[in-house]
Amino acid sequence: MVIVAAPRAGVLALQGDVREHLGVLARLGADAVPVRTPADLVSVDVLVIPGGESSVIDKLSRAFGLQGPVRQRIAAGMPVYGTCAGLILLADRITDAAPGQQTFGGIDVTVQRNAFGAQVDSFETELEVPDLGGPPVRAAFIRAPRVVEAGPDVQALASLDDGSIVAVRQGRLVGTAFHPEVTGELRFHALLLDLVRA
């Protein structure tokens, strides 16, 4: 009998709601660890880029020497899931980037930051996500981005009633404009872990 070790799942722990993602991954049976250094990154099978402030995470990733290693792991096929600011950081393009702001890239999309307004405009809604199966996803949008343009290899996983794309997948990269870790939704993180098991 072959015993398969639990995937080692990292959460980029520079800024944002790191603890919530670590909790979800642990609930799903992963060995969940914070990633703050290139050495931490080397040790993980998958990575979550949490919500927070995308321009701050970008600056800190460069200050901590993580930008290049994260880009390399993405290019090498590591499964990565980004929520809110994480989606912005996985996008190849930003329409309204802060001065000098960069991304890790990997998903052929253009995103608009804070597309739904300020913190006071945060909202929750139910989203149909056919690829996940089961009931609708309860999605929390907090100063959320949206995808305004997607390349031909990008799969739109979920959209709002107005047509705004708010969840995407390209290969082993997944991004959502909302925060499933806030509403107790586990299926996106489970999808990430399934990608490494596959």
* Cα separations in angstroms, 185 against 13, 122, 154, 173: 21, 18, 23, 18
Could you give the 3-state DSSP secondary structure of residue 78?
coil
Each residue of 152-166: pLDDT tens digit? 999 999 999 999 999
The catalytic site residues sit at 84, 179, 181
Each residue of 115-129: pLDDT tens digit? 877 666 688 999 999
- Encode burial over 121-138: b for 16+ CB neighbours within 10 A, e otherwise: eeeeeebebeebeeeebe
Each residue of 167-193: pLDDT tens digit? 999 999 999 999 999 999 999 999 999
- Find tokens 């993405």 and name the residue: 74
Could you give the 3-state DSSP secondary structure of residue 191?
helix
> Could you tell me which CATH class the domain 8-197 is placed in?
alpha beta
Specify whether the CB–CB gap between 176 and 87 falls below 8 A. Answer: yes
Which pLDDT does position 121 carry in this prediction?
67
